[in-house]
Chain A
Amino acid sequence: MTQPIDTSIYIAITEAIRDEAKRLLLEGQVSAVIGYAGARRKGSAQPVIISQAEDAAKLIFSPASVNNLALYLTKAKKEIPKNGKIGIVVKGCDLKAIVGLMGESQLKREELYLIGVPCAGVLASTAQPSTGLTAETIAPKCTECNAHLPAGCDYVPNVQLPAPLQLEEKYIAEITRLEALTPVERWAYWKEQFAKCIKCYACRQVCPFCFCEQCLCDRNKPQMVESTPRPAGNTAWHIVRAMHLAGRCAGCAECERVCPMDIPLNLLNRKMAKELKELYAYEAGFEVNDKGPLSTFDEKDDQSFIK
């Protein structure tokens, strides 16, 4: 039984984004707008950067607008010129990444013009871009979305978001399932998952928070993480990746979407987010904090695990 999800507002949103981008570029308020444009496959969308007002008609928003465009603002994408303000189309989940990057002094709010999108959900990586959005084809992250309406944007199209459906929260269900297993069973599960990894580092390249000039995992003097795609190195890489994103990742799930081997990467990130919320009552992505949960401390922190 497929439960359809109402995405009729996306047409109005597309119009509103086009008008706003055109106005911004004509008035010279921004030097470029980062958004989504139709791609070659039917129904698909790809990121686009426009700097001319006449190109504003290219912009769209559809259930295939899956990318987290915040990536194009980070240091990792140095080729994008930073002349003046940049307009960017953001869903609620992408906004969390931008908020996190602002907290880490990677972005300045005054250099951005945020075009927020009220979002009912986007397609999963496994769904064809032309399929309709249903309870089956929706991305797993959207089943747990708590930011359908992006807060604090410069412009949000005036549309009425349909009431979100109560969907099965996929990550929470999977984490609960894994936590109930014995360590041996969990190890077997992750061993199988990590064994698939081909070390393409797509998860790193697509992550807005992986902006280090030189990744620890690329260093070879000393080599901390084996770089060959053998099971030992893969396991180390995924543990290090999850640890470095702990307390920072807000769950745009881009790592999982781009993974060619379908490793449930966001599961590790969500698990860490859950633990940090339980331990330090911290949730990433809602407000600009210059200190994350792991870069600050409280003298009364739990130390029951320390002898």
Chain B
Amino acid sequence: MHSEKQKHSFEPKIIAFVCTWCTYAGADLAGTSRMQYPSNVRVLKFPCTGRIDPVFILKAFQQGADGVLVSGCHPGDCHYIAGNFHARRRFAAFRKLLEFVGVDLNRLQFSWVSAAEGGKWVEVVTDLTEKVRAMGPMAEFKQLALEEQWSGTIGTPELKEAYNAI
């Protein structure tokens, strides 16, 4: 039943923000249909894509995600009628902002996956995982999180002079 698991030197962390009505059910279908997809994805369930604040994506990257997937119902299928339409505009703007700040947009994927599309879920997750795996770890935000207060360089001649004078 289980195919041989391939060994990789880098296993990316993928965070998936999904809506409970479509994509979560779609992922569930993939599971109950015994479809195989990379276990790199961590699924977070939300009532609707409209609930997914861009700040969540930011937080995911800051906490060490290498890729982020946002997935919900197809346009017109929203359980709350228009949540995904609002989300579509918000994310269209947000990805432009991230791009301008210098984030590689290949790490951020949006998709519509319905409750019947278990196969599409597998495809989307596999594609993103392999894409991010090829790109390597998301270094930018991780380095930023390790950096301390700005202050420039500590070993400047002025500072050394002041230190020696004490």
Q: Which chain A residues have a beta carbon within 8 Å of chain B's beta carbons?
A: 178-179, 183-191, 195-196, 216, 224-226, 229-232, 235-236, 239-240, 242-243, 246-247, 268, 271-272, 275-276, 279-280, 293-299, 301-303, 305-307
Q: Which chain B residues have a beta carbon within 8 Å of chain A's beta carbons?
A: 53-55, 58-59, 62, 75-76, 82, 85-86, 88-104, 109-112, 124, 127, 140-141, 144-145, 147-150
Are A294 and B58 neighbours in the complex by a CB distance under 8 Å?
Answer: no
**Cβ–Cβ < 8 Å partners of A242 in chain B:** 97
B5 to chain A, nearest CB (A): 26
From known contacts A275-B93, A299-B75, infer whether A306 and B58 are also in contact, taking CB-CB under 8 Å: no
Report the Cα distance A299→B82, complex, angstroms. Answer: 9
**Cβ–Cβ < 8 Å partners of B86 in chain A:** 294-295, 297
**Cβ–Cβ < 8 Å partners of B59 in chain A:** 224, 236
**Cβ–Cβ < 8 Å partners of A235 in chain B:** 101, 141, 144
Contact of B93 among A225, A276, A303 (CB under 8 A): A276
Are A306 and B101 neighbours in the complex by a CB distance under 8 Å?
Answer: no
Are B112 and A306 neighbours in the complex by a CB distance under 8 Å?
Answer: yes
- 9 A-B pairs with CB atoms under 8 Å apart are A187-B102, A190-B101, A191-B144, A231-B150, A268-B97, A271-B97, A280-B89, A302-B92, A307-B110
Are A240 and B102 neighbours in the complex by a CB distance under 8 Å?
Answer: no
B148 to chain A, nearest CB (A): 6
Please report whether the interface of chain A is mostly helix, strand, loop or mixed according to DSSP: helix
**Cβ–Cβ < 8 Å partners of B95 in chain A:** 305
User: Quick one: which of A246, A302, A306 has the most chain B CB within 10 A?
Assistant: A306
Are B75 and A230 neighbours in the complex by a CB distance under 8 Å?
Answer: no
Report the Cα distance A307→B112, complex, angstroms. Answer: 6
**Cβ–Cβ < 8 Å partners of A275 in chain B:** 93, 96-97
Report the Cα distance A304→B13, complex, angstroms. Answer: 25
Contact of A303 among B53, B58, B62, B88 (CB under 8 A): B88
Report the Cα distance A271→B99, complex, angstroms. Answer: 11
A72 to chain B, nearest CB (A): 29
From known contacts A183-B102, A196-B150, A272-B97, infer whether A299 and B140 are also in contact, taking CB-CB under 8 Å: no
Are B62 and A232 neighbours in the complex by a CB distance under 8 Å?
Answer: yes
Are A230 and B124 neighbours in the complex by a CB distance under 8 Å?
Answer: no
* Residue on A nearest B152 in the bound complex, by CB: A195
Are B97 and A232 neighbours in the complex by a CB distance under 8 Å?
Answer: no
